[in-house]
Amino acid sequence: MSLRRLAHENHAATVPGSPRSPQSSNGGPALPSTPRNRVSIGVYRSPASAPSLSASVPFDWEAVRTHQAPPYGTPLQRKARKSMASAPATPKTPRKALVRKKSYWQRMQDLPSSIAFHLSMFPQNLPLPSARTSSRLIAGTMHFTHFLLRVGQYRRASHWDDIYVEDDDTWIDWSTLFTLILIVAAFGNAAYLFSRTRKYHFHRKQDMMSSPNAKFVSKEWDQLHAPTKALWKRGLRTGWRLFVMTWRFLLNLSPPQNLAYPNSNSSKVQELEVWAPGDLELQLFSLYSPVHAFLWLATNSSNWIMMLISMGLLTITLNLLIFTYKTLIKDKELIAAEVMTEYNEGFVYPRMNPVRHDVGVMTHESEIVNIW
Mind listing the pLDDT tens digit for each residue in 222-259?
555 556 677 777 778 888 888 888 888 888 777 665 54
Q: Residue 309: is its pLDDT beyond 70?
A: yes
Domain count, the chain: 2
Instruction: Identify the pLDDT of residue 48.
Output: 58
Of 69-73, 291-295, 309-313, the least confident: 69-73
Q: What are phi and psi of 39, to 5 degrees?
A: -75, 115
Nearest to 256, CA basis, from 233, 237, 273, 274: 237
Could you tell me if 175 and 323 lie in one domain?
A: yes
Confidence of residue 61 (pLDDT cuts 50, 70, 90): confident
Specify whether 309 is located in the same domain as 161: yes
Q: Which of 37, 53, 69 is the last residue of a domain?
A: 53
**Per-residue confidence band for 204, with pLDDT thresholds at 50, 70 and 90:** confident
Specify whether 14 is located in the same domain as 155.
no
Q: Is the pLDDT of residue 63 over 60?
A: yes
Do residues 35 and 144 both lie within one domain?
A: no
Predicted confidence at residue 5, as pLDDT, reads: 66
Residue 23 lies in a domain: yes
Model pLDDT for residues 342-352, shown as the tens digit of each residue: 999 888 888 88
What is the reported pLDDT for 260?
43
Comparing 43-47, 208-212, 249-253, which segment has the lowest mean pLDDT? 43-47
Last residue of one domain, picked from the residues 30, 53, 76: 53
Residues 314, 184 share a domain: yes
Residue 371 clears pLDDT 90, i.e. is over it: no
pLDDT tens-digit readout, 277-308: 999 999 999 999 999 999 999 888 888 899 99
Furthest-apart CA pair in the chain: how many Å?
A: 150
* CA 315 – CA 312 distance, rounded (Å): 5
Quickly state the pLDDT bin for 42 (edges 50, 70, 90): very low
**Average pLDDT, integer, range 64-75:** 68
Position 210 scores a pLDDT of 85
Answer yes or no: is pLDDT of 80 > 50. Answer: no
* Same domain assignment for residues 284 and 188: yes
The confidence score (pLDDT) of residue 170 equals 53
Q: Kindly tell me if the per-residue pLDDT of 99 is higher than 80.
A: no
Q: What is the pLDDT of residue 329?
A: 93
Any residues with CB less than 8 A from the CB of 48 and at least 6 apart, and which? 358
Instruction: Quote the CA–CA distance of 88 and 308 in Å, as a whole number.
Output: 68
47 and 150 in a single domain? The answer is no
Kindly state whether residues 282 and 372 are assigned to the same domain: yes
Torsion angle (degrees, nearest 10) of CA 261, 265, 266, 270 = 170
> Which positions ≥6 away from 257 have C-beta within 8 Å?
none
Round to whole Å and give the CA distance between 127 and 129: 7
Q: Kindly state whether residue 314 falls inside one of the protein's structural domains.
A: yes
Closest alpha carbon to 174 in 193, 198, 153, 191: 153
More confident residue, 8 or 176: 176
Same domain, 372 and 282: yes
pLDDT digits (tens, 9 = 90+) for 109-168: 898 998 988 888 887 778 888 889 999 999 999 999 999 988 887 776 554 444 444 554
* H or E stretch covering 42: helix 41-44
Same domain flag for 163 and 300: yes
Residue 267 has pLDDT above 70, yes or no: yes
| Residue 269, helix vs strand vs coil | strand
Please indicate, yes or no, whether residues 151 and 284 belong to a single structural domain of this protein. Answer: yes
Q: Are residues 286 and 184 in the same domain?
A: yes
Residue 333 domain-assigned? Answer: yes
Contacting residues for 322 by C-beta, under 8 A, at least 6 apart: 282, 283, 286
Domain that holds residue 2: 1-53
What local confidence, expressed as pLDDT, does residue 4 receive?
62
Res 261: pLDDT: 44
Lowest mean pLDDT among 92-106, 198-212, 250-264: 250-264
Residue 93 lies in a domain: no
Share of the chain above pLDDT 70, in %: 64
Residue 346 lies in a domain: yes
CA 262, 265, 266, 268 torsion-angle sign: positive
Give the mean pLDDT of the chain.
76
Q: Over 50: is that where the pLDDT of 311 sits?
A: yes
**DSSP H/E element including 329:** helix 304-343
Q: What is the pLDDT of residue 154?
A: 74
Assess if residue 109 is contained within a domain.
no
Q: 353 in a domain, yes or no? A: yes
CA dihedral 159, 164, 165, 167 (to 10 degrees): 180
Q: Is residue 181 part of a domain?
A: yes
